[in-house]
Structure formats: C-alpha cells, structure tokens
C-alpha cells in the first residue's frame, strides 16, 4: 500500500463527500501540500479500510514498534475513527480484505467518522484541546479538507515520537488496546517506509514534555465526558452500543452537514500551513501543542476548537434543515446573526466591490444572488438595502443580461438613476415623461411602466435577469398596490426577484406567496436592528428658557422610560400653572397658532444647534403648516458665510435652466431666501425642480433644518442627525388619527447618518399637552403594518389579459396575494381530494334495489329536514321573541351528544349576546349520568321516521336522574309550550352543592325533585313530543325563510313517513353505507369548490366588469377584445372614460388647448370647482364629459358594480381647467399662480400627467385611423410640455 494510493483514495473521498457542496478543486488544492503533509494524508488515509476489514484488530497499518511509537497519536485517531465508523453507519462491510487501499465506499464511512468526531468534540467542550487532534486525524481520512490541520497535527505527533519517554508512554497507552499485535492485513515490506517522511522534521529538536505533563494530558483526554466520548464499540468487538443515536443526524444529513462543516477548514493553502509547521518545529509542546496547527491555517477562527465547535453546533441546529424541504415551504428565512466567514472564498471574484465591508445581511444576500436565488430583504431604514441592488446590477452586467429596478415614485427613480449612473454608467431611465438610454443593461422605471411592458410582451423582458422592487411595502397603497401584484404575477419564471422593503412583520408570508407563485424558493433576509440606533425624546420647551426640556422616552436599546414621560408631563404642567398664575404678556401659549409654533421651533433649533444635532428633518403633516413654520422662522440663520456662498452658487446654477420669468416665481424666490439661511421646505406643493434643489442641498449638508411632509420619508437615502415630529396625529384623507407604527418608524428612520452619528435622535414635540403614554408606547414600539394585498380588478387588467391567451384573468385573481391564504393549501386540498376519491372508490355501493329503492331520497330528506330545522331554530334563538320565550322555567327538548330528545327546563340564560348559553336541568338516566354506557342511547345512527319527524322523547328506563347542562342555542331542538314555575337559582344552588363530595349523598331539594317529576310526567304524557311553540304563530316570526322553512319541513316529514325503505330489514346497514358515501361526496364537493374558480372572492366582480365591457362593446360574447377594447388598452388611465369620449367624437371638434383643459378634469387631484370665467366651448365640453361619465357610471350600476354614478362622476375634478387652458395657450407660469390657489407643485404634477394622457390618446387615435385627433393630441402635448413644468430633472443631468 502506497501513500499514493491512499492519497488518491482520499481525494476520492473528499470528492464524494463534497460532490454537491462545492467544487473539488479547492479540496484538491489543499490536499496537495508538500511531502510531509502528503505523507500524513497517506498515514491516516489507509486506516479506515484496515479497520473496516478487520473490525476487530485494532492495529493501524503501521509496521513495527518504531512506527507504533511514533504514531501513537495516529492510533488513537485511527481507533477513534474506526469506532466512529461503526457509529456512523455499518460501512465496515464495504471494504473487503483484498482492497489494500481505502475503497471508495469506505470514504463515506470515513466522512461519518469525521462527523462523529466533530460531534464528539462538541460533546467534550470542557476539554477541547486534547480532543482536537484526534478529531482532525479522524476527519482526514474522509476529506482532504482538513489536511492542513492534520499535517500540522501530525507534525506535532512526530515531535512526540522522537522522545523516548513519549514513545514509552505511547506504547503503554497503546499496547493494552492492541492485544492482537500486528495485524495480519497490516501493510508490510517495502511499502512501509513510505509512511515515513524523509523531510527534516527530526531537525526540530523540540522541547520534550515531561511525563507528568503528558499523563495529565492523557488523563484529561481519557476523562472526557464518558457518556459522549467513549468509543461506541469496544476493542475486539464487531458491534457496539450506540450511545446517543438520537442527537446524531441520520447519515444523509450527516453527509450534507459534514461537507458544510468542513468547508471553513479548507481556508488555508497547503503550502502556507506546511511552512507554518516546518517553521515552528521547536514550538512548545504540552498543552499548547495543538494550538499552532489551528491558528495558522485558520486565520479567521481563533482556535480550532472554537471553529469546530461552532460548526458542529451549526450542524446540529441548522438554520436550513438539511432534509429536503417540505414542498410547500417556499420562503426560507436566512440567519444573519452569524458572520459569513467564508464569504471571500465562496465569492472569489465578486461582481462588485465596495469601499466598505458589507454587513452580514448584505453578504448573505450577495451569496444568494450569486446562486441566482430570489431574495426578499426586509431591512431597517438606512441599513443598506441598496448594496443588494447594486450587486445585482453588477452581476447582470457581468452576465451580459439586464436588470430592472422599479421604484414607487418618480422622484426616487430620478435619484436612483443618478446614483446608479455614477456607479455603473450603463443605466437607463424610463418614466412617464422621460426616456433615457432605454437600451442600457440596468433600467430604472416605475412599476407601472414595467407592468405595461409585461402586458405588451416587450423584448426588454427577454434578457432580463433581475427585477429589483424597491420599497415593496408600497404594495399596501390602496390605489397603486395592485400594480406590484400584477407585475409579480406576470414576471416570467426565468427572472429572479429582489424585493427590498422596510421591516414588515409578515415578510415570510409574503415571500411564501411569491415563492409559490414562481415555484422557486425565496430567501428572506431581515436585519435585526438599525445600524444606527435611535433615541426618542419628548420636547416640551417653547422658549429659549425652556429649550433644554428634552426627555428621553425610548433609549437606543429600545427600553421605554416612564420616568422621562412623567418628567415631561411635570414640566408641561408646571409651566401651564405658572402661566396661569402670572398671566404675563410673555405668554406664548396664549398667542396660539403660528406664533406659538415659532417659539417652539426657535427653542428647539437653538437647542439642537447648541448640541450639534443638526441637520434636522421636521415632519409636519400638512403642506400649509410646513410652509408656515419655515416662513415663520425669519430670524433664524443656520449657515455660515461660506456655506451661504456655496448655496448661492448652486442655486444660480440650477435656476439657470429656467426661463427668465420662471426664475422670478414667488415660490422660487421664497425658497432661495430660505435656503440661504439653511432652511428648506419639501412637500408635494413645491415645484419639482425646487424639491430637487432642496434634496441635493440637504444631502450635501447645507440645509440644516428641513420642513417636510411624509413624502420625504419614502425611499431616498437622505438621513439627518435628528428627526422631529411636529405632531403625532395626521389627517389621512378621511379623518385625523394617530400615526401608525409603520409610518412612525419610516419617518423616524431618517434619523441617524451611518458612519457619522452614533445614534439618531427622534424628538416628538408636545405643543399642546403631552400625549397619552399608551399611545406613545403603541406608536413607538408597535409592530409596523403588515404587507396586505390591495388587489383589485381594473379594466386595463381585464382587457389586457383577455387579449392574450397566456394568462387568464381568473389565474391572475387566483395568484393574487389576497387569495393566497385560501389558495396556499390547494396542494393539500388536491391530495385530500385524491385521498377521498380513493376512499370513495373503495367503498361498497349501497344496495338500493327492491324495497330500498327510495333509500337515497330518504337520506336526502333526512339531511334536509335536519338542516331546515336547525336553520329555523337558529332564527328562533336569534329573534327577540324566541329569546323571550327561552326564559327560566321554559320546558325545552334537548338534543345533543349526550341527550337525545330529553326534556329539560331552563334555569338560567346568560346575558352574553354573542355566545348565549342556556343552563338547563335535563332529565337523564340514572346510570348514564354517572358513566355513559357504551351502546346505550349514544348510538343514534340509523334514523327511523319517528326519530326524524317527531321528538320521540327520551324516557329514562330505570330510576330517573337529572343533570344540569349548559346548552348552546344549537342544542335546543324545540321549545315546548310548557312553562314550569320554578326557581332557577335554588335548583342551581342545590345541584352545585351536591356536586361537592361532602354533600353527594344528600337528597335533592324538593324544588328539584318537583321539577324533575314534572318533566317526567310531561315526557310520559307526550311520548311523541310535546306541543311546541310555532315559530310563525307563537313567536311572530314572519320571516320568509322561516315560513318557507316550516312548510318545507312539514312536507319533508310527510315524505319521510311515506318512505318504504325503512321497512326493509337491510335498512340500517345500507343506510350507514349510503351515509358514508354521501359524506365523502359532500367533502369532495367542498374541496372541489375551494379548488375551483368559483371560490374566488373577486369572481363576481370580474363578471360584472366583463359585463360592463360587453355592454359598452369593448369585448364580444366570446370574450374577444374588439376595436374599442384595444383602444382602451392604449390608455394609461381612465380607460373607459377616455375611450368613450373618443368614440363619441367629443374631442375631435375642439382645439388642442381645449382638449387639454377638459382632460385636466380627469387627472386633477386638488379639490375646487371650475372657474366662472370660462369660454362657452369649455363649459359645454365639461358638461359633455360629465354626461359620458354618467353614462358609464350607469352602465356600471346596471351591471351590478357597487360604485354609484355620483361617485364615478365625482372623480372628475375641474378645478384646474382654467389654469391648464391658459397654460396651453402659452401663459407664463408666473402668471398662472394668480388663477388658482392650488400649490405650484400640484399644478405641475397635473400638467405632467395630462401630457402623458395626451400622448396615450394620440396613440389611440392612430389605432382607429383618425389622423386629425391624433395631430391635435400631439399639439396639445407639445403645448403642455414647456418651461418649468417640464424642466428636466436635475438628477438626470
């Protein structure tokens, strides 16, 4: 046996083991060290087979004493390994005596051995150091991955071998265990010298450990945990005892986890570690002996033990279970707590590198990106989600494929465009009004654009590798959320998805949905905490004097300080009382409104400035207040003179793009003035170019205090040192409400600049009184809102899907996130269905011949009767009269599991209206009340007519007893006309008293006996059921369902009486068979329904909408999209109204500017009626538009949609008609401002959207072959697109 053979076998073993784990190259590389270490591979390599084939001979293949002496350590290793082999699996049989080298099959055993060793090491964490060598040599047999370790270990063994004492010691240790002496299969002769290295290790005259040293060490080794660390097979035996089989993974996962376990060991190159060994030949021995081999090759692990222990623990509690995952789990959470140590080895050539070291979560994400997995990154604000996006873009560029980055808002798209363009160069931007480099390999677009690309099957999708969805939590947006779902559903399977989102509680659920959708696993990566922790304060100050009144409420560790809260309340109270006492002129609290605000902000900003906590973002929830607050601070100047000049220059440069008069716009001048003082305002009313100027100055740190609305918190990495909340209440379009935790977190997340600040400061102003602590607690500590489906059907979606047959609308609905909870079990349902079908097939057909001919009918009658009665009874119990009748003393018939038509009397009625419970005294058998008899009345299986029709009352056979039962309404089978005069309380008391063992033998009270006697008498008097209260006549239930139910029940009763089958002797048996079948069939039907389209929640609405389209002539009966439908597809919004307007020829006759003005009614969002001074054509046009809208609204109502005509028409908003008209006629923007009170920013947005709409109308006109309208729309769009409204974004320059 040569070391070469052994070596090759080891290679094979290594390859076997890591066949799937990672390429074998690295294993091979590391297994190719210089001679010394190679030899040691050979040394350890042959041991498994030698052991394997004997199973009893404990000698390793080492010839002679000399060798023995030298490699006693190896013996131990080998022994260990051998027994581990038994432990791992029964692989001993695999090697035949003739195979002199390790057979490949032995490798697996070796691997198990190594694994077992690793576990052993885990078990013996108290004495790790002596164990380590053993472990390593054991593993070496299985994999070359540990070769470096092994070799250095072996070196240390060699050092030991050269000492006579050591040898003796070793012999004494070894020989008792080797009674067989040299093994017959031991390699002999000329081969043996190959085991000996000819390298100059001997040259290292090393310190010799003393005997005591050694023995203590050996003892320590021997004394290791006896339960876990002993051999499992005694020497000389073929089989042993498996001590802890349960905790060991099964062979298959063992293989897997072993390969993973060994990976990190494979870090160092062979040369490196050899030189380490050779270089330190004389290293101190003793306790530190194993240390050098560990520390050198494993630079990242502090010691071998640590490393092994940790990895072993990973193997034992795997973040990803090694078993094949259950098919239905698509979302896999990724553990981001432990560092990715082997990151640089796994990704030797990253597609992109940063100046900084990526975080763990980023590394994890990148690892998955490299594997082309889809990931969902839910990270805290400013944690660095963009890194993931950047890597994907770089990866796609490397692969020569394409990435699409979608963002919810245009402003964010522009910013990302600039960022990515600076990083990657080859970046394009597609939004509604800009198209830059559409051929680039990374395209930034809004989600809507991506959707239309998917609908039209654009070729951009062909070579798409990644789609990055930024701010996925936008899916919660009521209006636009559906777009995200559509896109996610329609994306082809070859595209990998990257979802970036703020932290959401149901990330897993959402990921599971997408995974199921795409039939691929999605890795969910969440961050644990913000990189820059936040501190939350309350601020109660309002004057320079009180500017220090800042109270810590929530510290950076997330602990809520009630003390701070009470201090704030105190401070506030003190001031109010003081003011109340002094009523001086300097009472800002009484001046109210803006002036008071000013005081607060001056105080706050001064305080923040003093403590160097600027820049600050102040979130205010109305545009007006934002402006007011900023304008109010006239006296404040936060910039230095050099900053002032910088700001001035920047402003000049940006504003130079504007036309002369536009530079003089009041808003521009005002903003410039504010900016020079370091203040800024940012909300939707601001002109887009000004917003961009503010953003850019802010990110350069020149805006010290920014007053913004919530929109600033969306996306855009623009952190500040401090975030201030003007209030914790906002108006959400319908009412004032407290901020939701998600909103609060999103905004507060702007605080804390990574790398600049240790913590971020969040301050909540208490201008009025201090908010309730519970509210604060909920807002700050509450869970952010979940991702929720806002899926709804739109006409565009329906038309686009009807046009192609790739995807049906039903499929789209079925796959939506809203249907996910009911659909995710569909696989299980299918299985259940198959199972039921199988069971049904196995069942015998019931015999329905002869007399039993009407058995099936009988069954259905019985079922129906029971159902009808239950329904009526439910109505009775729900009704007022029914409840009234069910008062104390009423005699009822009780029917449930225990009681079969037993008479009872109601003692008490619970007052809880949602789950009413009647307490009743019920007759029962003496015996059954004690212990229910098997085969007693509890087998009401086969119902005969008299069971079904009347109430064959239960009559106790022996002595009668009673029991108090709590009955839900369903148990009351009938209400009789009888009322007993009893006292419910007394009976209850008596019964409960007799429940106690002490009073068990007491006779019941006379009241109880009397009641029971009376019930018994009643039961005997009416064996077929006592007269019951008629729901219609007695209880005044004139409901249609009740009356009809009653009639039907009576009819059914007649039918049941007439049934023939019950007379047959075979009736019971056949009935049971029939019932079993019927029940299975019913269950199958239910499952089929759940699996069918019919159970879709939105299906009715879908049919209604298709009906609308049919009525309007957009699709025909067969569902083919007609011309009008195709035109509607071309519209970007308001598809029905625009199409109808066009086909009604309502637009062609008008001039372009008039068309634009009219259409503004569709896109305008600011409220307000039309101006009075309008040309008559416009007025007529408006009426016409409204008439068309009304017609569509009426069609919708007629088709059953629940949007009223008024609502539909009310969506039109003609507030900006005049403004748009004048703009289209060429009025400068500066003059427009006088025409309406609408903020400039909103006007701009409206005109931008209008231009988009004009373009889509032009396309539609081309489609129907109407060139005049097309030309007009073209002109309209050109008229609109000019000057400041369409000034190109600063970000795209």
Summarize as ranges the residues that interact with other proteins (CB under 8 A).
399-402, 456-459, 462-465, 492-495, 802-805, 1113, 1118-1124, 1126, 1129, 1140, 1142-1145, 1148, 1263-1266, 1268-1269
Paired tokens of 265: 């060991």
Exposure string for 1227-1257, b = 16+ CB within 10 A, e = fewer: ebbbebbebbebbbbbbbbbbbbbbbbbbbb
In DSSP terms, 725 is beta-bridged to 619, 764
Q: How far is the CB of 482 from other proteins (least distance, A)?
A: 22
> Measured from the CB of residue 1197, what is the shortest distance to other proteins in angstroms?
20
Cα distances from 858 to residues 271, 651, 1063, in angstroms, run: 88, 89, 12
Provide the 8-state DSSP code for 961. E
By beta-carbon proximity to other proteins, the closer residue of 480 and 1191 is 1191
CB of 488 or CB of 716, closer to other proteins: 488
d(CA 444, CA 413): 6
Q: Report yes or no: 813 and 1096 within 8 Å, Cβ to Cβ.
A: yes
Among residues 732 and 1194, whose Cβ is nearest to other proteins? Answer: 1194
- Could you tell me how far CA 692 lies from the centroid of its own chain? 34
Query: What's the closest the beta carbon of residue 403 comes to other proteins, in angstroms?
Result: 12
| Tokens 């855009």 belong to residue | 716
CB of 1288 to other proteins, least distance (A): 25
Of the pair 1022, 1122, the CB lying nearest other proteins is at 1122
Nearer to other proteins, 880 or 1123 (CB): 1123
CB 1195 to other proteins: min, Å: 13
In sequence order, what are the residues at sequence separation of 6 or more whose Cβ sits closer than 8 angstroms to the Cβ of residue 515?
A: 330, 331, 374, 521, 522
Question: Shortest distance, CB of residue 1269 to other proteins, whole angstroms?
Answer: 7
Q: Which is nearer to other proteins, 493 or 844 (CB)?
A: 493
Number of Cβ within a 10 Å radius of residue 1074 = 22
Half-sphere exposure of 115 (CA within 13 A, CB side): 30
Whether 219 and 212 have beta carbons less than 8 Å apart is answered as no
Q: Tokens 């025909």 appear where? A: 1116
Nearer to other proteins, 1244 or 1269 (CB): 1269
Which residues are within 8 A (CB) of 527 and not within 5 positions of it... i.e. 6 or more apart? 336, 359, 361, 378, 379, 380, 383, 503
CB of 339 to other proteins, least distance (A): 32
Query: Among 891, 1069, 888, which Cα is nearest to 988's?
Result: 888
971, 920 Cβ separation under 8 angstroms: no
Nearer to other proteins, 1114 or 1221 (CB): 1114
Q: Exposed e or buried b for every residue in 225-238, given b needs 16+ CB within 10 A?
A: eeeebbbbbebeee
For 518, residues 6+ apart whose C-beta sits below 8 A from its C-beta are 374, 491, 493, 497
Provide, rounded to whole angstroms, the least separation between the CB of residue 525 and other proteins: 23
CB nearer other proteins, residue 400 or residue 774:
400
Query: What is the C-alpha separation between 339 and 294, in angstroms, rounded?
Result: 20
Write the DSSP assignment of 476-532 as a string of letters: G-TTTHHHHHHHHHHS-TTSEEEEEES--TTHHHHHHHHHHHHTS-EEEEE-SS-SS
Quick one: which H or E segment has residue 976? strand 972-979
Residue indicated by tokens 């798409």: 464
Give which of 109, 82, 115 is closest to 258, Cα–Cα. Answer: 115
Nearer to other proteins, 174 or 1124 (CB): 1124
For the record, the structure tokens of 603 come out as 């105080």
Nearest distance, CB of residue 1129 and other proteins, angstroms: 8
Contact 893, 1026 (CB under 8 A): yes
Q: For the CB of residue 1111, give the shortest distance to other proteins in the complex, in Å.
A: 13
Among candidate residues 695, 749, 716, 754, the one with its CA nearest the CA of residue 417:
716
CA distances from 229 to 146, 239, 242, 297, 793 (A): 21, 17, 12, 27, 65
Q: Give whole-number Cα distances, 5 to 12, 48, 792, in Å.
A: 11, 14, 68
Shortest distance in whole angstroms from residue 1194 CB to other proteins? 16
Question: 463 or 1231: whose CB is closer to other proteins?
Answer: 463
**CB-based contact 645:755 (threshold 8 Å):** no
Q: Taking a C-beta distance cutoff of 8 angstroms, is the pair 648, 602 a contact?
A: no
Matching residue, tokens 């100059």: 200
| Closest distance of CB 942 from other proteins, Å | 50
Least distance to other proteins from the beta carbon of 1268, Å?
A: 8
Quote the least distance from Cβ 1112 to other proteins, whole Å. Answer: 9
Specify whether the CB–CB gap between 307 and 265 falls below 8 A: yes
Are residues 1217 and 649 in contact, defined by beta-carbon separation less than 8 angstroms? no
**Rounded CA separation 634/566 (Å):** 34
CB-nearer residue toward other proteins: 325 or 804: 804
Contact status, residue 911 vs residue 945, Cβ threshold 8 Å:
no
Q: Which is nearer to other proteins, 460 or 770 (CB)?
A: 460
> C-beta of 1262: minimal distance to other proteins in Å?
9
CB of 1186 to other proteins, least distance (A): 18
Compare residues 462 and 586 and give the one whose CB is closer to other proteins. Answer: 462
Which residue number, 397 or 919, has a Cβ lying nearer to other proteins?
397
In this complex, which beta carbon is closest to other proteins, that of residue 171 or of residue 1110? Answer: 1110
Closest to other proteins by CB, 1082 or 1103: 1103
Nearer to other proteins, 103 or 1115 (CB): 1115
State residue 554 phi and psi, 5-degree precision.
-140, 115
* E strands present in 584-674: 616-619
In the complex, the smallest distance separating the C-beta of residue 820 from other proteins, rounded to whole angstroms, is: 24
Closest distance to other proteins from the beta carbon of 98 (Å): 47
CA distance 51 to 353: 50
């Amino acid at each position: 046996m040569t070391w070469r053979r052994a070596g090759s076998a080891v290679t094979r073993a290594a390859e076997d083991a890591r066949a799937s784990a990672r390429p074998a190259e690295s294993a091979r590389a590391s297994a190719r060290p210089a001679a010394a270490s190679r030899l040691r591979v050979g040394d350890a390599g042959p041991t498994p087979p030698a052991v394997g084939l004997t199973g009893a001979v404990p000698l390793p293949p080492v010839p002679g004493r000399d060798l023995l002496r030298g490699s006693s350590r190896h013996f131990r290793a080998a022994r260990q390994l051998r027994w581990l082999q038994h432990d791992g699996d029964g692989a001993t049989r695999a090697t035949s005596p003739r195979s002199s080298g390790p057979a490949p099959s032995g490798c697996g055993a070796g691997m198990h051995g190594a694994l077992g060793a690793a576990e052993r090491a885990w078990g013996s964490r108290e004495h790790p150091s002596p164990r380590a060598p053993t472990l390593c040599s054991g593993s070496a047999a299985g994999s070359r991955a540990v070769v470096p370790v092994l070799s250095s270990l072996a070196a240390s063994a060699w050092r030991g071998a050269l000492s006579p004492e050591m040898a003796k010691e070793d012999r004494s240790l070894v020989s008792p265990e080797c009674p067989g002496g040299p093994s017959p299969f031991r390699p002999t002769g000329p081969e043996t010298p190959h085991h000996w290295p000819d390298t100059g290790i001997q040259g290292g005259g090393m310190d010799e450990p003393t005997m005591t040293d050694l023995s203590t060490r050996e003892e320590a080794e021997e004394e290791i945990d006896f339960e876990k660390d002993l051999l499992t097979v005694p020497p000389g035996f073929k089989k042993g005892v498996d001590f802890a089989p349960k905790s060991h993974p099964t062979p298959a996962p063992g293989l897997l986890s072993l390969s993973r376990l060994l990976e990190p060991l494979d870090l160092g190159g062979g040369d490196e570690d050899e030189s380490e060994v050779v270089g330190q030949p004389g290293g101190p021995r003793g306790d530190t002996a194993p240390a050098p081999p560990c520390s050198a090759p494993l630079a990242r692990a502090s010691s071998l033990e640590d490393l092994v222990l940790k990895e072993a623990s990973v193997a034992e509690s795997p973040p990803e279970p090694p078993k094949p995952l259950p098919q239905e789990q698509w979302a896999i959470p990724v553990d981001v707590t432990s560092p990715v140590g082997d990151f640089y080895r796994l990704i030797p050539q990253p597609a992109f590198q940063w100046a900084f070291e990526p975080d763990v979560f980023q590394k994890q994400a990148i690892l998955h990106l490299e594997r082309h997995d889809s990931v969902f990154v839910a990270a805290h604000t400013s944690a660095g989600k963009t890194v993931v996006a950047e890597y994907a873009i770089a990866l796609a560029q490397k692969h020569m494929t394409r990435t699409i980055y979608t963002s919810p808002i245009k402003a964010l798209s522009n910013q990302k465009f600039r960022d990515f363009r600076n990083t990657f160069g080859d970046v394009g931007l597609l939004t509604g009004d800009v198209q830059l480099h559409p051929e680039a390999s990374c395209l930034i677009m809004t989600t809507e654009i991506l959707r239309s690309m998917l609908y039209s099957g654009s070729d951009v999708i062909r070579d798409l590798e990644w789609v990055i969805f930024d701010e996925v939590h936008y899916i919660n947006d009521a209006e636009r959320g559906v777009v995200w779902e559509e896109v996610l559903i329609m994306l082809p399977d070859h595209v990998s998805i990257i979802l970036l989102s703020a932290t959401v509680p149901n990330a897993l659920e959402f990921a599971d949905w997408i995974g199921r959708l795409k039939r691929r696993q999605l890795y969910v990566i969440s961050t644990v905490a913000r990189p820059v922790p936040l501190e939350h304060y309350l601020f109660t100050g309002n004057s320079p004097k009180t500017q220090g009144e800042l109270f810590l409420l929530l510290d950076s560790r997330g602990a809520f300080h009630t003390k701070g809260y009470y201090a704030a309340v105190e401070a506030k109270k003190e001031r109010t009382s003081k003011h109340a006492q002094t009523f001086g002129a300097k009472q800002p609290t009484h001046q109210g409104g803006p002036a008071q605000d000013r005081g607060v902000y001056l105080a706050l900003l001064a305080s923040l400035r003093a403590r160097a906590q600027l820049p600050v973002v102040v979130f205010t929830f109305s545009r007006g207040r934002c402006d007011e607050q900023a304008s109010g601070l006239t006296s404040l100047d936060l910039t230095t003179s050099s900053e002032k000049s910088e700001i001035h220059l920047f402003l000049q440069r940006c504003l130079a793009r504007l036309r002369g008069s536009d530079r003089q716009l009041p808003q521009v001048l005002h903003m410039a003035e504010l900016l020079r003082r370091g203040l800024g305002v940012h909300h939707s009313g601001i002109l887009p170019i000004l917003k961009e100027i503010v953003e850019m100055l802010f990110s350069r740190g020149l805006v010290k205090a920014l007053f913004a609305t919530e929109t600033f918190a969306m996306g855009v990495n623009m952190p500040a040192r401090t975030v201030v909340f003007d209030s914790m209440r906002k108006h959400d379009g319908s009412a004032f409400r407290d901020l939701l935790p998600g909103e609060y977190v999103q905004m507060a997340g702007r605080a804390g600049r990574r790398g600049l600040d240790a913590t971020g400061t969040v301050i909540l102003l208490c201008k009025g009184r201090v908010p309730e602590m519970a509210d604060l607690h909920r807002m700050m500590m509450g869970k952010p809102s979940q991702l929720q489906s806002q899926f709804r059907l739109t006409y565009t979606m329906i038309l686009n899907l009807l046009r192609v047959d790739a995807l049906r609308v039903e499929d789209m609905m079925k796959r939506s996130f809203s249907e996910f909870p009911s659909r995710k079990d569909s696989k299980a349902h299918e299985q259940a269905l198959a199972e039921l079908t199988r069971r049904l097939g196995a069942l015998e057909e019931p015999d329905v011949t002869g007399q039993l001919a009407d058995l099936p009918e009988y069954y259905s009658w019985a079922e129906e009767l029971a159902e009808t009665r239950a329904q009526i009874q439910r109505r009775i119990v729900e009704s007022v009269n029914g409840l009234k009748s069910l008062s104390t003393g009423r005699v009822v018939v009780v029917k449930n599991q225990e009681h079969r038509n037993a008479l009872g009397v109601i003692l008490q009625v619970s007052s809880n209206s949602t789950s009413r419970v009647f307490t009743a005294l019920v007759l029962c058998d003496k015996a059954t009340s004690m212990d229910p008899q098997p085969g007693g009345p509890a087998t009401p299986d086969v119902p005969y007519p008299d069971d079904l029709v009347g109430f064959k009352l239960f009559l106790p056979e022996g002595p009668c007893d009673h029991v108090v039962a709590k009955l839900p309404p369903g148990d009351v089978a009938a209400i009789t006309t009888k009322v007993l005069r009893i006292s419910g309380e007394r009976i209850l008391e008596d019964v409960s008293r007799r429940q106690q063992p002490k009073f068990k033998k007491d006779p019941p009270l006379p009241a109880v006996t009397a009641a029971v006697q009376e019930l018994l008498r009643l039961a005997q008097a009416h064996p077929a059921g006592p007269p019951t209260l008629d729901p219609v006549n007695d209880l005044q239930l004139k409901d249609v369902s009740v009356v009809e139910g009653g009639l039907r029940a009576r009819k059914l009763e007649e039918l049941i009486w007439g049934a023939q089958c019950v007379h047959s002797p075979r009736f019971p048996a056949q009935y049971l068979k029939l019932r079993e079948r019927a029940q299975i069939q019913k269950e199958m039907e239910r499952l089929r329904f759940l699996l069918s389209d019919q159970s879709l929640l939105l299906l009715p609405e879908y049919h209604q909408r298709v009906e609308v389209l049919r009525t309007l002539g957009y699709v025909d009966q067969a569902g083919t999209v007609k011309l009008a439908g195709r035109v509607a597809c071309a519209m970007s919004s308001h598809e029905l109204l625009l199409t109808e307007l066009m086909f009604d020829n309502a637009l062609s006759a008008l001039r372009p500017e008039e068309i634009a003005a009219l259409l503004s009614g569709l896109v305008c969002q600011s409220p307000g009626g039309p101006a009075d001074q309008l040309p008559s054509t416009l007025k007529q046009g408006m009426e016409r538009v409204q008439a068309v809208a009304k017609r569509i609204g009426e069609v919708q109502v007629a088709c059953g949609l629940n949007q009223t005509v008024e609502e539909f028409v009310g969506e039109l908003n003609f507030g900006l008609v005049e403004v748009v008209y004048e703009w289209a006629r060429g009025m400068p923007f500066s003059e427009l401002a006088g025409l309406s009170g609408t903020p400039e920013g909103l006007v701009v947005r409206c005109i931008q959207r209008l231009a988009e709409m004009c373009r889509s109308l032009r396309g539609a006109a081309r489609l129907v072959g109407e060139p005049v309208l097309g030309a007009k729309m073209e002109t309209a769009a050109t008229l609109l697109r000019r000057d400041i409204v369409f000034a190109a974004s600063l970000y795209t320059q």
